[in-house]
Amino acid sequence: MPAPKSHIVVIGGTSALGLDIAKAAHAAGCQVTIAGRGAERAAGVATSIGAGVTGVHIDLEDSASIGPALREGPPIDHLVITAIMRLATTVKDFNVKEAERLVRVKLVGYVEAVSAALPRLKPTSSIVLFAGVSKSNPYPGSTMISTVNGGVVGMTKTMAVELAPIRVNCISPGLVLDSPIWKTILAKGPNPVVDAMAAKTPTKRLAMTEDVIAGVFALLDNKAINGIDLELDGGIQLV
Ligand SMILES: NC(=O)c1ccc[n+]([C@@H]2O[C@H](COP(=O)([O-])OP(=O)(O)OC[C@H]3O[C@@H](n4cnc5c(N)ncnc54)[C@H](OP(=O)(O)O)[C@@H]3O)[C@@H](O)[C@H]2O)c1
């Protein structure tokens, strides 16, 4: 659990897993800043989380929004980046424009945001980036998602070296059953992919948002964890 009053910035904190991380940090007494696309929307979501939460506009596809939002302001103890651009493309029907946007958000955008925030990070600060188990557990159509998530693991290790003593880690959830995207899918009825994954997973249980929050907080907090990729997949890659 991050220390009360520590300042945590969540890029992607305007919805889904990022928003739940921001809410949990606020409940723990942290000073919270969330970022997503649209100043008004980010401010509105921030207000809905609670008093003192700040919302800022960052579009990881737009350099002009990244520097101004991150370079100046109070020191940052913890930086979390969850943002992703969702796409549906396959190798056979490859959508180059969508693929480039995803690369812009998750590979260039993540590093650009860390770079912009550097003046506000302290030697004791920590960073958590979001990858995903698709990096090594692919499914048909996951080529671009698997590629960028693998890239996030790579940048985590290089940044842990380059930015030392700042700690940099990433987290690779498997399918997060109660995340909004999967709730929407499951609202349409039972899903064979979800059922098959749950049956195959050694724990017989898929990751939940509370597991992701606990994992992020452990990475932010534990001063001995550095340069790792925390896989929250119930051990599915073992079988
Ligand atoms: N959910 C899962 O089952 C699961 C499984 C494995 C890994 N993950 C990883 O966990 C992370 C979060 O997943 P999620 O399910 O919470 O995703 P999500 O529901 O798609 O939310 C994505 C977030 O990214 C932000 N975003 C999108 N494009 C952006 C841009 N150009 N600039 C800045 N922010 C942008 C969105 O905010 P705005 O719309 O306000 O900009 C939104 O808050 C992702 O990196 C994903 O790869 C998720």
Q: Is the pLDDT reported for residue 212 higher than 90?
A: yes
Q: How far is the CA of 176 from the centre of ligand 1 (A)?
A: 12
Q: Is residue 131 lining ligand 1, measured as CB closer than 6 Å?
A: no
Neighbour tally for 136: CB within 10 Å: 16
The arithmetic mean of pLDDT across residues 19-32, rounded, is 98
Please report, as a single letter, which amino acid is at residue 87: L
Cα of 86 from ligand 1 centre, angstroms: 8
pLDDT of 153: 98
Cβ atoms of 16 and 85 closer than 8 Å: no
Distance 121 CA to ligand 1 centre (A): 23
Thinking of the domain 7-176+209-234, which architecture would CATH place it in? 3-Layer(aba) Sandwich (3.40)
- Does the pLDDT value for residue 96 go beyond 90? yes
Q: At what angle do helices 16-27 and 39-49 cross, to 10 degrees?
A: 40
Q: Measured from the CA of 86, which atom of ligand 1 is nearest?
A: 20
Which atom in ligand 1 lies closest to the alpha carbon of residue 59? Answer: 32
With a 6 A CB cut-off, is 206 part of the ligand 1 pocket?
no
For residue 58 and ligand 1, the question of a CB distance below 6 A is answered with yes
Pocket lining: 60 vs ligand 1, CB cutoff 6 Å: yes
Rounded to the nearest angstrom, the gap between the alpha carbon of residue 125 and the centroid of all alpha carbons in its chain is 17
Distance between CA 216 and CA 200 in Å, rounded?
Answer: 25
Phi-psi category of 51—alpha, beta or left, where left has phi over 0 and alpha has psi -120 to 50? beta
What distance in angstroms lies between residue 225's CA and the mean position of ligand 1's atoms? 24
**Domains of the chain: which residue ranges?**
7-176+209-234
In this predicted model, what pLDDT tens digit does every residue of 49-77 receive, in sequence order? 999 999 999 999 999 999 999 999 999 99
